[in-house]
Each structure stands twice: as C-alpha cells, then as structure tokens.
Chain A
C-alpha cells in the first residue's frame, strides 16, 4: 500500500506555501504518479516540425515514460502516435528519426499502417475472418496521443482528456516562442546543429527550478565563469574584445543586483521567465548583417522591438524551456526519481547569417554539453542535493525568497529577479495537475 496513490490530500500536502517535501524529488511512488497524472494532464513538448520536413518522416521520443512518434502524414499534417504496434506491442521504430515511406510496417509480423496510424493491411488476413477482429483494439491501428497542437512548428501533446486546452494552458507564455520565431527574418525556425544529451543523476525538477534560480550563478559558477574571466584577464590584458567563450561565460558572474533588476515574469499554470528588463544575453556582440536582414523583413521599429527582448529562460511547465535570444530549447526527460536526461536542441533562424547559428552552437556546447564546465558546476549541485535530501532530520526544501501571501491571489506578475515565486508557481501548478484527475 502506497502513501500517495489515490490520496490527493497526501499529494497536496507535499507542497506548502514556502516549502516542498523531499518526496517530490526522491520518492518512487510520487514519481510514478507524476508520470500517470502530471505528464498526462499537461501539454508536453514533443518535437519541432522541421525535424520531419517530408511526407513519411518520423521522429521518435517520449512523453513522460511513453514512447511516441511524431510523423508527417501524406496530407502534410503532423501526427503524434504511440510507438507500439497494436498487434503484439512491438515498437514500430527504434531509430530516432527516419522516413517510413508511404506506410509503417511492423518488423515482427508485417502488419502495416498508414502514417496517420490507421491500419493498412494484415498478411494472411483471412485467418481473422469470423474472429471478431473488427471489435478488437488491434484493428484500430496505432493509437494517437489524444490531444496534439502544432504551434508555429512547436509540437505539443496531452495524453489525457483532463486538463485545459492548449491556448488556455499556455496563455501569454507563448509570447516567448513567438519572439524566437520572429527573430528569423523569414519567420521560420529549423532544428540545426545536432542535439546534446546529458545524463543527470537527479530529479528532473531540479533542472527546472535551476532555470529561474538567479542566486546560484555567482556562487556555483565561480569555478567556470569566474575562472574564464581571470584567465582572459591574464592572457589578453586590456583587450577591448572578449574571446567568444568569455563573452558567454562572463555574465554568469554578474552581481546580485544585476539579477535582482533583470526581473522575473510569472504566468498561470506554472509558466514564467527570467530576464524581463535585461539578461545575461543582453550584451553579446552584433552579428554582421543580421540586423539589416531583420530591418528588411520587418521594418526598423518592429525589428528593434523583436530584438530588444532578451528573455533569459522561459520555463514552460512542466519540463520544457526556451532561450529565445540564443535560439535554443531544452527538454528535461524524467527517467526515474533520480535520473533525468537533459536534451539541448538548437535552431537556425531561416534567412539569418550563419554566424548567428555558429554562436548558438557555441553557447550550447559551452553551457549544455556533458563536457561543459558550467554544466559540471550545476550537475554537482543537483546530485549533492539528490543525496542530501535523504537526511531525515529535515524533509523540507525551502523556496521562501521574497514570499508574500498576497501572491496567492495573483496569476501574473513582474517581480524582483531573485524571487523564488516562479519555483512556488511551478509547485502550485504541480499540485494542481497532479491531483486534477485523482
């Protein structure tokens, strides 16, 4: 008998106004409930439709623990299917991406399915005559994830009928995706450069909370960012320009006031972003030709407005994040209470200079790779927390900074950049979507 299953009150009690119980990070039963409820009741990012440009293209990934396929059907529409043959359960595809041609063919018994999942043919079909096959699950074809939305190329899906519709769920937070797409003079993004996959032995929510944790960089990243600044001072004293890596690392050492003033915006349903007024991405050197491309596409006023947004991390609850000015996204895939796969993807802005993609990829490599010194700093903290939480003396994790009970009445706000309100916002959403269908 578990403590949390079928016990909405016990799950609710894990989240207090200013602290959360350690079981949200370390308990197997809570994790299982997250997979069954939280990841079913919320809209989960699946992939970008530029990964499947041609008819028959597919991309395999997961929603929570469920293997799924994102596929381009013959009419051009994107479908999200469960990656399971309806016959005997075999995964239809194992490779991450490929082209199915006109139909999927299960490698086990050669049942075939159109790229919208519907059953096309069964070999030796007469063996099913008068067996009532038409009443079976198998004859329905490859099951669809029930709810799916392609928003400007970003494909999201929701497995359960519970929970809000797409627009209601994301609301104003979609402005971050809008801004990233608008940064392309053609208004189009293409996945480019490859994906960095970094295995973390910690709970997925630690990575999410870190996105808006602005009181850690100057402490945890002194090792990498602080060292980068010192090395550059010694190697190029008095230099006017910064080494590209130093330009990326140095802002992590900005003082507390910088992060206080950069601001955080809170949205409904656990979404929010850092970097309202400025961010660590504000002072990068200009990419020659890019601004001209933007002016030609949008006119000067609009081009400036698009590029003046320097949002740092936008956290799309529960496990997806967008960095508009860098054109990168990250997905934190939960594998176990103490195991998370962090995937970091990057985009080419169509019609922008290659030099911009080059900086995007440099950023991704320097910050998100398994070889990243900045990543090493963070992972060490997550994994120490994952171990430290087993201490019985105090089962509560504090998320109290700049707490004001009045915030409970407020759905959106722009606040001090060192507030932990966004972490509280996420946990309030966590509590809501965990128990919505219990």
Chain B
C-alpha cells in the first residue's frame, strides 16, 4: 500500500469540505474511520475532550444521528433547511508519519451557515488527522477550533 502524496492529503481535505457544502452527507460520513471523531473544542487551546466540555465530540454513531435528523420529517429546525459554505486556505501538511500511518493537515477557514434570513460567519482552523485504511484515506480526527470558541453562539446545525 503506497503512502499518500501531499497532494492527496490536500485534495482530501478540500473534497471533504465540498461534500458538506453539497449536503452529500452519506459520502461525507464514509470518509471517517470506524473509530473516527469530529471534535469542536469549547476552550482555547483545549487538550482534553473528556474532562473539559466541548461544543462537539461526535463519534460515528453521533454523526449518523445528526445526519438522519437533518433528513427527518419532524425536524422542524430544518424546515426550511440550513445551508453552508466553506472557504479554505490551502491545507498545510503538519506531519507525515508513514511508519505510524498518520498524516496531519492544518487548514484555516471561514465557514458560513445560513437559514431563513439569518447568516452566521465563523472563522476556524481545521486539523485533520488522517490514516490509510484499505487503500483509502480516512479521518481519525477532525478537530475544528473556532477563533471565538468561547463566545455566546447561535445554533450550529451543520458541520464545519
């Protein structure tokens, strides 16, 4: 199994954001490893998802629940549906560890979520910890650090 190139890693992160923007959530969820997590810390520089609260710390079960809920017939907070939009800087390769099969990228981004007349703009850094599984890149951890992680926030219903 050959290691991914830097361009593979960059392409993966860009594609991942596109799947969210296009609401292709089945394909998106498939990008996560079985033990993968999506983590949005609550505190600046947070190191622990367990004994410090987070905005999100979802495993695949929780992500699946969110995705099914978005489609639900009685999901009134999605009538009408939210939309979202990512603007990414070029992802930067933080570390490549072929022996450990672990690749980390760092991506500053702006994210917009809208619903009805309301539009919220968020600035964040996404850190992807990726690994090769069966010849494909998968997400072990997607960490999203909001610049204003500790601010009073409105609902965030989709994914950054």
Interface residues of chain A, those whose CB is within 8 Å of chain B, are 192-199, 220, 222-224, 226-228, 230-232, 235, 243, 245-246, 249, 341, 346, 354, 357-358, 361, 364-365, 369-371, 373, 375-377, 379-381, 384
Is the CB–CB distance between A196 and B42 below 8 Å? yes
**Which residues in A have their C-beta under 8 angstroms from that of B68?**
227, 230-231
Given contacts A223-B72, A230-B68, A371-B55, contact A197 B50 (CB under 8 A): no
User: Is A373 touching B69 in the complex (CB atoms < 8 A)?
Assistant: yes
Q: Is B51 an interface residue (CB 8 A)?
A: yes
Cα A377 to Cα B72 with chains together (Å): 12
Expressed in whole angstroms, the Cα–Cα distance for A371 and B72 within the complex equals 17
Residues on the A chain within 8 Å of B152, using CB:
197-199, 341
Do B153 and A197 touch across chains, with their CB atoms under 8 A apart?
yes
Q: Are A369 and B69 in contact (CB under 8 A)?
A: no
Q: Would you call B81 an interface residue if the criterion is a C-beta within 8 Å of the partner chain's C-beta atoms? A: no
Cβ-neighbour of B153 out of A346, A365, A370 (below 8 A):
A370
Please tell me which one of the listed residues A230, A354, A365 contacts residue B56 in the complex, with CB atoms under 8 A apart.
A365
Is A222 within 8 A of B74, CB to CB? yes
Q: How far is the CB of A254 from chain B (nearest CB, A)?
A: 17
8 Å CB contact of A377 from B54, B76, B150: B76
Residues of B in contact with A (beta carbons under 8 Å apart): 40, 42-43, 50-57, 61-62, 64-66, 68-69, 72, 74-77, 150-157
A-side contacts of B50, CB under 8 Å:
354, 358, 361
Q: Give 23 pairs: A residue, B residue, CB < 8 Å, sorted on A.
A: A193-B52, A194-B42, A222-B74, A223-B69, A223-B74, A224-B65, A227-B65, A227-B72, A231-B64, A231-B68, A235-B61, A245-B61, A245-B62, A245-B65, A354-B51, A361-B52, A365-B53, A365-B54, A369-B53, A373-B69, A376-B157, A377-B75, A379-B155
Beyond contacts A341-B152, A371-B55: 5 other A-B pairs, Cβ-Cβ < 8 A, are A194-B53, A197-B152, A199-B153, A227-B68, A364-B53
By beta carbon, the residue of chain B nearest A362 is B57
Distance in angstroms from B146 CB to nearest chain A CB is 10
Residues of B within 8 A of A196 (CB): 42, 53, 55
Complex Cα gap A324–B85 (Å):
40
CB neighbours of A381 from chain B (8 A): 76
Q: Shortest Cβ distance from A213 into chain B, in angstroms?
A: 16
* Given contacts A222-B74, A358-B50, A376 and B56 within 8 Å (CB-CB): no
| B53→A361 contact, CB < 8 A | yes
Given A227-B65, A341-B152, A370-B155, residue A377 in contact with residue B57 (CB < 8 A): no
Chain B residues, Cβ within 8 Å of A246: 61
Which chain B residue lies CB-closest to A197?
A: B152
- Whether B61 pairs with A227 at a CB distance below 8 angstroms is no
Tell whether, in the assembled complex, residue A243 and residue B69 are in contact, meaning their CB atoms are under 8 Å apart.
no
B51: chain A residues at CB < 8 Å are 192-193, 354, 357-358, 361
* Interchain CA distance A222-B77 in the complex, whole Å: 12
Interchain CB contact (< 8 A) of A235 among B56, B64, B76, B155: B64
Residue on B nearest A379 in the bound complex, by CB: B155
Contacts of A245 in B (CB 8 A): 61-62, 65
B residues in contact with A223, CB < 8 Å: 69, 72, 74-77
Kindly list chain A residues whose C-beta atoms are within 8 Å of the C-beta of B74. 222-223, 226
Q: Given contacts A354-B51, A379-B155, is CB(A369)–CB(B56) below 8 Å?
A: yes
Cα distance A434–B136 when bound, in Å? 64
CA distance A410 to B157 in the complex (A): 44
Bound Cα distance from A197 to B154, whole angstroms? 9
